[in-house]
Amino acid sequence: MKEFNVKRIDVDTGKYEIILNIEDARDLSVYREDRVKVVGGRKTITAKVNVTDTLIEPGTIGAFRKTHDALDVAVDDKIQLIPTSKPDSVEYIRKKMDGKELSKSELYDIIRDLVSGSISDIEMTAYVVACYTRGMTLDETENLTKAIIDTGDVIEFDKGPVFDFHSIGGLPGNKVTLLVVPIVAASGLMIPKTCSRAISSACGTADILETIANVTLSIEDIKRISEEVGGVIAWGGAVNMAPADDLIIQVEYPLAIDPYPQVISSIMAKKKAGGAEYLLIDLPMGPGTKVETEEIARRYVNDFIEIGRRIGIKVECAITFGGQPVGAAIGPALEVKEALEALEGKKVRTSLIEKSAALAGLILEAGGVATTGQGKEAAKEIIRSGKALEKLLEIIKHQGGNHEITSETVPLGKYTHTVVSDKEGYVDAINNKSIVKVVRAAGAPKSKGAGLWLYEKKGHKVAKGQKLYTLYADSERKLKEALRVSRELRPLTIEGMLLKVFPSFHQI
Amino acid sequence: MKEFNVKRIDVDTGKYEIILNIEDARDLSVYREDRVKVVGGRKTITAKVNVTDTLIEPGTIGAFRKTHDALDVAVDDKIQLIPTSKPDSVEYIRKKMDGKELSKSELYDIIRDLVSGSISDIEMTAYVVACYTRGMTLDETENLTKAIIDTGDVIEFDKGPVFDFHSIGGLPGNKVTLLVVPIVAASGLMIPKTCSRAISSACGTADILETIANVTLSIEDIKRISEEVGGVIAWGGAVNMAPADDLIIQVEYPLAIDPYPQVISSIMAKKKAGGAEYLLIDLPMGPGTKVETEEIARRYVNDFIEIGRRIGIKVECAITFGGQPVGAAIGPALEVKEALEALEGKKVRTSLIEKSAALAGLILEAGGVATTGQGKEAAKEIIRSGKALEKLLEIIKHQGGNHEITSETVPLGKYTHTVVSDKEGYVDAINNKSIVKVVRAAGAPKSKGAGLWLYEKKGHKVAKGQKLYTLYADSERKLKEALRVSRELRPLTIEGMLLKVFPSFHQI
């Protein structure tokens, strides 16, 4: 079989992709967009074919960054190419598009092909959209979850028990993890928290903490820091735990969709791979969040608990108030600032402390370090004593961050604009979805300084000209864009004192 | 605003894509997978961003082949980059995913953004899959069709009237266009036929004729050849007529799906842009084709006629027998061979002549060159007289092919394998879908020599060891793959004489 040299093409396409000279492509009878198995490197992968007349000479393949890294070949190493047929899993994706239930082996095939690179972006998108429009049965969700776990690494802790926590996304400003993890770790329990980046929300916990610490940790780091410090906040996408989930997210992100069965299996697979034995799930309920109604909340609760039972995690769910953002800050750097303020004992919105303490308290009770009903108070005491702040800074230090950081020194976006009320009245509504769109327009989650700081919350009385919120961005263009979106979507609505005018004096 | 040099990256990614140095990407606050408007070339396009540390130096952009061709810049020309936000049309795609009806302006936005490159493959796939799972109303189909027409070029003929013909895909071996077009042109009517490549079928007419002639013609070529010769068979994807349709097909092809509303609007938009005033549509009905039942056929008939009425084309539909392949040949080169045999007066399967003459006859009647009810006989006479063969060779010559080609000299796949019956009996069924899969496994439509030649059709009596069909391929690997698929899917089933054994002597 013909052997090829490998030339690194230093472009990060995020996928397994190679470039072939047209002559070699003809010899192999492969065409653009076809897939070939690349054999002979450290890892055997399936890569998409691009074709060139001139850029790569015959006998050599061009390997983009991710492909080259996976192959890990030296200059003189040779590789071989084996053209592959379309995998059977594309048939199963069509089956799901047609609304049919997938078997365990079909779901495993899809996930295995996804992880090996045999499924293209187009095929993967079709799978995600089909799950979105067709849904999945609980059996499918279970099998999907198991397939995602089994195609990746898992952490095995020497200590235990392992506690974990997850907030369902969609609620802007929900930075409670930055309080819950240090409270629990300071209590002596172990909470190795892997977290995610935003898919459809303004920013995930990984996006937030990344502002001041490294969240790209290895499995060894996560294990060591957790066992030493009691807690860690690591980006789940950086390790090879549940790698299928990260690939699915790459497709969900640009569409800003997050299909229900995918939410369940994504969270549960990451948690199981991360070694969790007990898991508390925060379900913020309110308009514009993932959990808009009590009915949806109940479905989540049932399915999380049931899938947990099937894969061996004890799950507890807390439905929380999601009618408006938690606290004042939305956006990576701003949320770090507000979390630090809370732990430093500064005056912050009560909702942030109350919610974080209530959630952490449930874990303290489950772990037996607080008696039933006393968890919340115990959690507040850990904040008041300064131990939670100390623990967070210790975690930040172990994750390569500056442990002398304070709420005053977090770097915020340089470009700001403050919006004031154009009339006297009350804050009638704060629209979660609009806030998310404004903050994303400002550049979040990738742009760390981007965000929005709310001065007033629902029901507050405001005077004409009073500050409502400040927009933050890292570039002037993004600030303008956020301002444009905020003018269009109006994240806050102010109702004047004069609510209705009867027609008696204003006859049409 | 900063200006950039442009460096050609000679790789055909099929999309608008550029490579930026990481420093420039930071300056512009853009990230991998973001989109930027590229201004200053011949055409303003929106391109996807890739990022490199080393391959491209700051101040230069790397432009892949399609991008570089569209910009058409000289060595010293400078371009500018304007970061763009996610287009609103992504919201409309989500709306369709949620099963809601799209307005005229929303559909126009989607199609415009698609053509300008502002929508990514992932977003486009989501749109196509949403159309597949959710369907479209007739108003949506009309607006989609109009949007596809209005975002591309149209042909305006100096002569008229313009007749056109289209066969709905899915029926293997349906090479009737190769007979219908020369018959109609030989009768003195004008039939400028644009045709497509296969999406979910074994091969489209463009894939077939490409074996022996150039189907990549310009609008000027199509106009000139049609007006001079009376007929042309050109690939619709090569011209900028209904370009959105070709982009949609790029996503449909790997999934082998072809959503119903997309079929209607794709065909009608191409036909309108091609100047058609009268259009005959062939709807082969049978298991494994696009038109499986009478109910589906009626829906197609109604919708084609109604959309035709709304955009100004007189449509006639013919429901034809699609229970098994037309003729003996399936696959690009083999179908050319069989079509030539038919026109040369050689003995071929009656079904091919009967169907082609019946369809061509309807056009002859509509064009007034045959009286009502006499069209089919007139068409047969044009074949018998040799005028149809002469006209096809004239068309081939005008399209840069060898007009001395005969059914004996068409180049077929070099690797063959003949499958024989393992028992005595009757051909009980020929499975269209299995045949398509076998022929695609053999390499069709891209590999021209790939195909399958049927020796026996439904109801024929066969002896043990009698030849059933021969597989053709251009490489040994593809032949093996086709053989493997044919063993698994059994495109022909033979029922023995002994149909059932009663349990009287075979008690379990």
Q: Which of B83, B99, B127 is the last residue in one of the domains?
A: B83
Same domain flag for B458 and B365: no
Test A123 with B29 for CB contact under 8 angstroms.
no
pLDDT band at A496 (very low <50, low <70, confident <90, very high): low
Mapped onto helix, strand or coil, the DSSP state of residue A363 is helix
Query: Which residues of chain A does B252 touch, with a Cβ-Cβ cutoff of 8 Å?
Result: none
pLDDT at residue B170 is higher than 50: yes
- Chain A closest CA to B55's CA: distance in Å? 6
In this prediction, residues A425-432 reach a mean pLDDT of 89
Q: What is the pLDDT of residue A501?
A: 52
Determine the residue of chain B that is closest to A89 in CA distance: B255
pLDDT at residue A14 is higher than 80: no
DSSP of A456-474, one letter per residue?
A: --TT-EE-TT-EEEEEEES
Nearest to A29 among B11, B13, B443 (CB): B443
- Determine, yes or no, domain membership for B257: no
> Which segments within A295-399 are labelled E, that is strand?
314-321, 329-330
Same domain flag for A175 and A201: yes
Q: What is the pLDDT of residue A408?
A: 97
In this prediction, residues B337-354 reach a mean pLDDT of 94
Angle, helices A121-134 vs B89-97, to 10°: value is 50
Same domain flag for B16 and B124: no
pLDDT band at B232 (very low <50, low <70, confident <90, very high): very high
- Determine, yes or no, domain membership for B146: no
Contact between B119 and B88 under an 8 Å Cβ cutoff? The reply is: no
Give the distance from CA B2 to its chain's centroid: 43
pLDDT at residue B236 is higher than 50: yes
Rounded to two decimals, the pTM is 0.81
In this prediction, residues B113-123 reach a mean pLDDT of 88
Range of the domain at A447: 415-495
pLDDT at residue A469 is higher than 60: yes
Q: Quick: pLDDT tens for A312-347.
A: 999 999 999 888 899 999 999 999 999 999 999 999
In this prediction, residues B133-143 reach a mean pLDDT of 96
Contact between B275 and B156 under an 8 Å Cβ cutoff? The reply is: yes
Terminal Cα distance for chain B, rounded: 86
* Dist CA A62 CA A51 (whole Å): 10
pLDDT band at B508 (very low <50, low <70, confident <90, very high): very low
- % chain A with pLDDT above 90: 69
Same domain flag for A131 and A278: no
Between the CA of residue A277 and those of A157, A191, A234, A298, A311, what are the distances in Å?
A: 11, 10, 18, 22, 10
- According to DSSP H, which parts of A117-154 are helical? 121-134, 138-150
Angle, helices A243-255 vs A104-116, to 10°: value is 80
Listed in sequence order, the residues at least 6 apart from B230 whose beta carbon sits closer than 8 Å to its beta carbon are B184, B185, B186, B188, B189, B190, B191, B391
- Determine, yes or no, domain membership for A145: no
Q: What is the pLDDT of residue B210?
A: 95
- Chain B closest CA to A128's CA: distance in Å? 9
Test A29 with B90 for CB contact under 8 angstroms.
no
Question: Tokens at residue B390, please?
Answer: 């002469």
- Determine, yes or no, domain membership for A426: yes
CATH code of the domain containing B448: 3.90.1170.30
Q: What is the pLDDT of residue A118?
A: 85
- Determine, yes or no, domain membership for A501: no
Element (H, E) at B508: none
Mapped onto helix, strand or coil, the DSSP state of residue B300 is helix
Residue carrying structure tokens 């371009």? B79
Test A125 with B126 for CB contact under 8 angstroms.
yes
Q: Is B135 on the interface with A (CB under 8 A)?
A: no
Nearest to B120 among A32, A83, A254 (CB): A254
Neighbours of A88 (CB within 10 A): 12
Determine the residue of chain B that is closest to A123 in CA distance: B255
Q: What is the pLDDT of residue B233?
A: 96
| Residue of B11, B82, B96 best to disrupt the A interface, most CBs of A under 10 A | B11
Q: Quick: pLDDT tens for B51-60.
A: 888 889 999 9
Give me the half-sphere count of Cα atoms (radius 13 Å) on the Cβ side of residue A212: 30
Which one, of B116, B115, B110, B145, lies nearest residue B130 by Cα?
Answer: B110
- Chain B closest CA to A10's CA: distance in Å? 6
Determine the residue of chain A that is closest to B55 in CA distance: A10
Same domain flag for B22 and B104: no
Which one, of A486, A502, A327, lies nearest residue A420 by Cα?
Answer: A486
* Dist CA A284 CA A324 (whole Å): 10
Nearest to A50 among B12, B31, B129 (CB): B12
Query: Which residues of chain A does B256 touch, with a Cβ-Cβ cutoff of 8 Å?
Result: 90, 94
Query: Phi then psi for B421, rounded to 5 degrees?
Result: -75, 135
pLDDT at residue B388 is higher than 60: yes
- Chain B closest CA to A36's CA: distance in Å? 14
Which residue in the list B164, B258, B282, B303 is annotated as catalytic?
B258
Q: Which of B314-318, B383-387, B423-427 has the lowest mean pLDDT?
A: B423-427
Mean pLDDT of chain A, nearest integer: 91
Q: What is the pLDDT of residue A508?
A: 42
Question: Tokens at residue B35, please?
Answer: 């989109």
pLDDT band at A499 (very low <50, low <70, confident <90, very high): low
* Dist CA A361 CA A351 (whole Å): 15
Angle, CA of A402, A404 and A410, to the nearest 5°: 75
Q: Which residues pair with B167 in a beta bridge?
A: B282
Q: Which residues pair with A124 in a beta bridge?
A: none
Q: Which of A81-90, A185-194, A463-472, B230-239 has the lowest mean pLDDT?
A: A81-90
Element (H, E) at B131: helix B121-134
CATH code of the domain containing B123: 1.20.970.10
CATH code of the domain containing B54: 2.40.40.20
Nearest to A50 among B13, B85, B99 (CB): B13
Test A10 with B123 for CB contact under 8 angstroms.
no
pLDDT band at B256 (very low <50, low <70, confident <90, very high): confident
Q: Is A54 on the interface with B (CB under 8 A)?
A: yes
Number of domains in chain B: 4
How many residues are listed for chain B in this entry? Answer: 508
pLDDT at residue A504 is higher than 60: no
Angle, CA of A274, A277 and A381, to the nearest 5°: 100
Mapped onto helix, strand or coil, the DSSP state of residue B129 is helix
- The residue ranking higher by pLDDT, A255 or B189, is B189
Test B54 with A474 for CB contact under 8 angstroms.
no
Same domain flag for A316 and A352: yes
CATH code of the domain containing A335: 3.40.1030.10
Q: What is the pLDDT of residue B480?
A: 95
Q: Which residues pair with A121 in a beta bridge?
A: none
- Determine, yes or no, domain membership for B441: yes
Which one-letter amino acid corresponds to residue B169?
Answer: G
Query: Which residues of chain A does B55 touch, with a Cβ-Cβ cutoff of 8 Å?
Result: 9-11
pLDDT at residue B499 is higher than 70: no
* Dist CA B225 CA B398 (whole Å): 7
Q: What is the pLDDT of residue B498?
A: 55
Same domain flag for B78 and B97: no
Q: What is the pLDDT of residue B74?
A: 87
* Dist CA A441 CA A435 (whole Å): 10
Question: Tokens at residue A108, please?
Answer: 């495993």
- Chain A closest CA to B10's CA: distance in Å? 6
Terminal Cα distance for chain A, rounded: 86
Query: Which residues of chain B does A247 touch, with a Cβ-Cβ cutoff of 8 Å?
Result: none
Q: Report strand pairing: B45-52 vs B17-21.
A: parallel
Q: Is B125 on the interface with A (CB under 8 A)?
A: yes
Nearest to A11 among B52, B94, B125 (CB): B52
Q: Is B82 on the interface with A (CB under 8 A)?
A: no
* Dist CA A125 CA A132 (whole Å): 10
Q: Is A308 on the interface with B (CB under 8 A)?
A: no
- Determine, yes or no, domain membership for A403: no
In this prediction, residues B429-457 reach a mean pLDDT of 92
Q: What is the pLDDT of residue A497?
A: 57
Q: Which of B398, B430, B450 is the last residue in one of the domains?
A: B398
* Dist CA A7 CA A23 (whole Å): 17
Same domain flag for A222 and A346: yes
In this prediction, residues A32-50 reach a mean pLDDT of 89
Query: Which residues of chain A does B10 touch, with a Cβ-Cβ cutoff of 8 Å?
Result: 52-55
Same domain flag for B475 and B387: no
Residue carrying structure tokens 């800050």? A329
Same domain flag for A170 and A67: no
Q: Is B507 on the interface with A (CB under 8 A)?
A: no
Q: Which of A364, A398, A432 is the last residue in one of the domains?
A: A398
Give me the half-sphere count of Cα atoms (radius 13 Å) on the Cβ side of residue A116: 18
Q: What is the pLDDT of residue A79?
A: 94
Q: Which of A248-252, A385-389, A445-449 has the lowest mean pLDDT?
A: A248-252
Chain A, window 249-288: residues with a beta carbon less than 8 angstroms from a chain B beta carbon: 251, 254-257
Mean pLDDT of chain B, nearest integer: 91
- Chain A closest CA to B39's CA: distance in Å? 17
Query: Which residues of chain A does B121 touch, with a Cβ-Cβ cutoff of 8 Å?
Result: 121-122, 125
Query: B258 catalytic, yes or no?
Result: yes
Same domain flag for A259 and A374: yes
> Which segments within A292-424 are labelled E, that is strand?
314-321, 329-330, 415-420
Residue carrying structure tokens 């499995």? A219
In this prediction, residues A145-156 reach a mean pLDDT of 96
Query: Phi then psi for A235, rounded to 5 degrees?
Result: -75, 120
CB pairs under 8 A between A and B: 125
Q: Is B85 on the interface with A (CB under 8 A)?
A: yes
Same domain flag for A71 and A95: no
- Determine, yes or no, domain membership for B501: no
Chain A, window 418-457: residues with a beta carbon less than 8 angstroms from a chain B beta carbon: 441, 443, 446-447
